[in-house]
Amino acid sequence: MAHSLQRLLLVRNIQWTITKQSICVIPALNSSYNKTFVPPNPDPKFYKDDVPAKDDELSQKNIKPAPSDQTYSCFYDHELHRFEKIVLRKGNSVQTRQLIWRTFEEIKCIQLKKYNAADEDEKENIELNPLKIFHQALDNAKPLVDVVSVSKGGASYRVPVSVNPNQQLFFATKSIREELWKGKPKNAAALRLAKELLAAYNNEGGAVKRKLDLHKEAHANRAYANLLHG
């Protein structure tokens, strides 16, 4: 992964400044913190419990300092926080905060209308919490397997490869983002995002379709799975 990133940077001539306070588990190129350093957990109770046991992994690891974006409030969510940084092209945090605020309001309005019009038997199946819809939508759009091109003996093959949790998140948000760009700017961005999240929650839409196409390609090339290791 690091090798491919280096190639991209040389091609585009971008000065990539990685800050010290990055939460991602993938190691940054020129950070002053080692690969063994681990991101912090924003829950204060996490660090106030009893003394650790001898076999505990984390008692022998180092922790990075927490960035200023992390808060101890009960509304903090790790996946939402990562989603905010990827949704917009240039990452304006004030705009993303407003976007997400309005999408959750739209989701609530749509679901409440359904809830008030439904019978008592159907009311249990309707989800009213926008956070749970968000998590479920991303889970439905995350791929389990990725395909990478490998050249061996003069020929290039497409090889299936496992995926990191952060890579999964990035793929899901990117597929949702490209769906956003297809819509007309006449319609509000919050409405468009809300409809796509609800579609992914129901296993419909373009974001889930991209994941299924990837899985098909990996399934077709499953014979070459040993090329990377061998």
What is the C-alpha radius of gyration for the chain, rounded to an integer number of angstroms?
A: 21
Nearer Cβ to other proteins (9/150): 9
Neighbours of 26 (CB within 10 A): 12
Whole-angstrom distance, CA of residue 185 vs CA of residue 182: 9
What is the nearest approach in angstroms of other proteins to the Cβ of residue 104?
A: 4
Nearer Cβ to other proteins (59/202): 59
What is the nearest approach in angstroms of other proteins to the Cβ of residue 202?
A: 19
What is the nearest approach in angstroms of other proteins to the Cβ of residue 59?
A: 5
Q: What angle do CA 131, 134, 140 make, to 5 degrees?
A: 145
What is the nearest approach in angstroms of other proteins to the Cβ of residue 55?
A: 9
Q: Which residues in 93-102 are b (16+ Cβ under 10 Å) and which e?
A: eeebeebbeb
Residue ranges in contact with other proteins by CB under 8 A: 25, 34-36, 38-39, 41-43, 46-47, 49-53, 56-63, 73-78, 100-102, 104-105, 108-109, 112-113, 115-116, 128-131, 165
What is the nearest approach in angstroms of other proteins to the Cβ of residue 82?
A: 10
Are 85 and 97 in contact by the 8 Å Cβ rule? The answer is no
CA 116 from centre of chain: 33
User: From residue 117, how far is each of 31, 103, 191 by CA, in Å?
Assistant: 55, 22, 21
What is the nearest approach in angstroms of other proteins to the Cβ of residue 151?
A: 26
β-pair type (145-152, 155-162): antiparallel
